[in-house]
């Protein structure tokens, strides 16, 4: 499917600028953020995702000192309840963590298969470090390419039903490197309004026209594709397999038929589906039985596979192209080969222990049924392992998360800019490492702490 013929047309007619709008140059850290693009022709259901409620920040003055500028930004964030600070997670064993000195059950991480602390992974990493240096010492183009990197790339390609893959040091690096490699000024990217920050940033770096369509709205996508016929050299549809904050699945069947009809390439970021969805854990495309229909697939290694890093899978020629063209691959030190050994071990454990995925789905069912009993049925079309519980405003969201931590549950309280203003939520992530008792205990703590559902 890759390299389907490009859109035929009379050359790149650039329409009025209407792609993703740059945010004001704020110092605010985007954390695990996504979703800040402005709509292009089709309006987002969420008005102005840039419109963060930090109106209390006074206008900058010309002669501001660095310290004063930073202070102003930080106090604006604090007064809008959007200020962030790290918690210390000092130890992890399965789903149990010590956070800021206190024991808690972790319902906030992306360790969906419970592999992050698995001893086999640690043994593999130690063995690799005994056999060779920890540091790769250079980029892969120079002295940093190790046989373990290539072995892992083959295994990951196999997992995705692809010919080849290329490793990246993170999912963020994959998106900001690959998207500009595929798309440039004469091209257009159709981007789901809930795409992750790294996809949005990759789109911006590419300088392609960006057209944001309302989340999962394939009618709006079709409308944009139809209206753009003949205007661009390449058309790329960028979607996620499982949306990171809402937990719903991309309607990949409909996206594939539109891509076929309008000659677009599909760029699928499957950070959260990889290892989890599909008959063998191959991910979202396997779930839909559409593995041969997706042109470019991103998978991450720091979520279900428990380590860190990412990869892009596709034909051999895609790998060759990316290692020549993706700047975040070319201009960076290779990740330690021991991490590749750790991911290889994770793949082995995941394959040998299919009960992990079965346990995960049983846990998801228990949590979702329990939430429905509490009157907090989750967003429509959201059957996955990421379970949002919408609170609304930022302050009560942070307060509920703090109260849950006092009760021994670490649950993500997600606020803007990660989600739109008014869409603050608990993001509960389920893992195979959770026991049924832990989920029941979380549900009982939620029953005591959740404010009434927003109207």
Ligand X SMILES: Cc1ncc(COP(=O)(O)O)c(C=O)c1O
Looking at the annotation, which residues are catalytic? 244, 272, 303
Dist CA 323 CA 310 (whole Å): 14
Q: Quick one: 198 or 363, whose CB is closer to ligand X?
A: 198
In the complex, minimum distance from the CB of residue 303 to ligand X, in angstroms, rounded to a whole number: 7
Tell me which stretch binds ligand X (CB under 6 A): 15-23, 203-211, 264-272, 377-385: 264-272
Dist CA 244 CA 248 (whole Å): 8
CB atoms within 10 A of CB 67: 8
For ligand X, which residue of 170, 284, 297, 335 counts as binding (CB under 6 A)? 170
For ligand X, which residue of 171, 283, 306, 417 counts as binding (CB under 6 A)? 171
- The torsion angle over the Cα atoms of residues 314, 318, 319 and 324, rounded to 10 degrees, is -160
Residues 283-302 that bind ligand X (CB under 6 A): 300, 302
**Contact in structure between 191 and 206 (CB atoms under 8 Å):** no
Dist CA 75 CA 57 (whole Å): 7
CA angle at 294 for the pair 292 and 300, rounded to the nearest 5°: 110
Q: Quick one: 228 or 286, whose CB is closer to ligand X?
A: 286
In the complex, minimum distance from the CB of residue 252 to ligand X, in angstroms, rounded to a whole number: 14
**3-state SS class at 167:** strand
Q: Does 109 bind ligand X (CB under 6 A)?
A: no
Q: Does 339 bind ligand X (CB under 6 A)?
A: no
Q: Quick one: 401 or 446, whose CB is closer to ligand X?
A: 401
Quick one: CA dihedral 277, 283, 286, 290, positive or negative? positive
Any bridge partners for residue 376, and if so which? none
In the complex, minimum distance from the CB of residue 403 to ligand X, in angstroms, rounded to a whole number: 25
Q: Quick one: 297 or 424, whose CB is closer to ligand X?
A: 297
Dist CA 277 CA 275 (whole Å): 6
Q: Does 332 bind ligand X (CB under 6 A)?
A: no
CA angle at 108 for the pair 155 and 249, rounded to the nearest 5°: 60
Residues 308-327 that bind ligand X (CB under 6 A): 310
In the complex, minimum distance from the CB of residue 335 to ligand X, in angstroms, rounded to a whole number: 11
- Binding letters toward ligand X, positions 238-257, x by CB under 6 A: --x---x-------------
For ligand X, which residue of 72, 118, 149, 196 counts as binding (CB under 6 A)? 196
In the complex, minimum distance from the CB of residue 175 to ligand X, in angstroms, rounded to a whole number: 6
Q: Does 343 bind ligand X (CB under 6 A)?
A: no
Any bridge partners for residue 296, and if so which? 267
Q: Does 215 bind ligand X (CB under 6 A)?
A: no
Q: Quick one: 57 or 350, whose CB is closer to ligand X?
A: 350
Q: Would you call 88 exposed, middle or buried from its count of C-beta atoms within 10 A (0-12, 13-18, 19+)?
A: exposed
State the angle between helix axes of 337-352 and 119-131 in degrees (0 to 180), rounded to the nearest 10: 150
In the complex, minimum distance from the CB of residue 110 to ligand X, in angstroms, rounded to a whole number: 7
Using CB under 6 A as the binding criterion, the count of chain residues that bind ligand X stands at 15
Q: Report the candidate in 196, 197, 254 with the shortest Cα–Cα distance to residue 386.
A: 196
Q: Report the candidate in 300, 299, 453 with the shortest Cα–Cα distance to residue 379.
A: 453
Tell me which stretch binds ligand X (CB under 6 A): 254-262, 268-276, 321-329, 332-340: 268-276
Tokens 């109106």 map to which residue? 55
- Residues binding ligand X (CB under 6 A): 32, 170-172, 175, 196, 198, 240, 244, 269, 271-272, 300, 302, 310
């Amino acid at each position: 499917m890759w390299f389907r013929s490009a859109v035929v047309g009379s050359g790149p007619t650039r329409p009025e600028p209407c792609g993703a709008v740059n945010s004001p140059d704020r110092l605010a850290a985007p954390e695990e953020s996504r979703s800040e693009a402005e709509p292009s022709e089709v309006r987002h259901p969420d008005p102005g995702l840039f419109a963060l409620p930090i109106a209390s920040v006074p206008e900058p003055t010309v002669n501001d000192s660095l310290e004063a500028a930073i202070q102003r930004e930080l106090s604006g964030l604090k007064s809008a309840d959007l200020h962030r600070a790290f918690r210390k997670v000092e130890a992890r064993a399965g789903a149990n963590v010590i956070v800021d000195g206190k024991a808690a059950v972790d319902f906030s991480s992306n360790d969906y298969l419970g592999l992050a602390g698995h001893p086999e992974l640690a043994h593999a990493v130690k063995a690799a470090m005994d056999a060779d240096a920890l540091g790769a010492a250079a980029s892969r183009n120079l002295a940093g390419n190790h046989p373990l990197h290539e072995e892992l790339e083959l295994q990951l390609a196999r997992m995705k039903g692809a010919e080849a893959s290329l490793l990246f040091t993170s999912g963020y690096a994959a998106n900001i490197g690959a998207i500009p490699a595929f798309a440039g000024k004469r091209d257009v990217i159709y981007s789901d309004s809930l795409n992750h920050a790294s996809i949005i940033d990759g789109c911006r770096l590419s300088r392609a026209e960006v057209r944001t369509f309302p989340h999962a709205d394939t009618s709006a996508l079709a409308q944009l594709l139809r209206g753009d016929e003949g205007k661009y050299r390449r058309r790329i549809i960028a979607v996620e397999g499982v949306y990171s904050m809402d937990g719903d699945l991309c309607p990949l069947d409909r996206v594939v038929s539109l891509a076929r009809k309008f000659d677009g390439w599909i760029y699928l970021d499957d950070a959260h589906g990889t290892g989890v969805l599909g008959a063998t854990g191959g991910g979202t495309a396997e779930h839909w039985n559409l593995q041969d229909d997706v042109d470019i697939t991103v998978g991450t290694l720091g979520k279900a596979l428990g380590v860190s890093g990412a990869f892009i899978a596709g034909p051999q020629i895609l790998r060759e192209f990316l290692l020549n063209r993706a700047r975040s691959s070319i201009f960076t030190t290779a990740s330690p080969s021991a991490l590749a050994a750790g991911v290889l071990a994770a793949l082995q454990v995941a394959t040998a222990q299919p009960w992990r995925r079965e346990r995960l789905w049983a846990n998801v069912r228990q949590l979702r049924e329990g939430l429905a009993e509490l009157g907090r049925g989750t967003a429509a079309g959201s059957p996955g392992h990421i379970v949002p519980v919408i609170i609304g405003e930022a302050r009560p969201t942070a307060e509920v998360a703090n109260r849950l931590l006092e009760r021994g549950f670490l649950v993500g309280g997600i606020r803007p800019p990660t989600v739109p203003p008014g869409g603050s939520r608990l993001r509960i992530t389920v893992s195979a490492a959770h026991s049924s008792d832990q989920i029941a205990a979380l549900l009982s703590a939620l029953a005591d702490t959740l404010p009434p559902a927003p109207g």
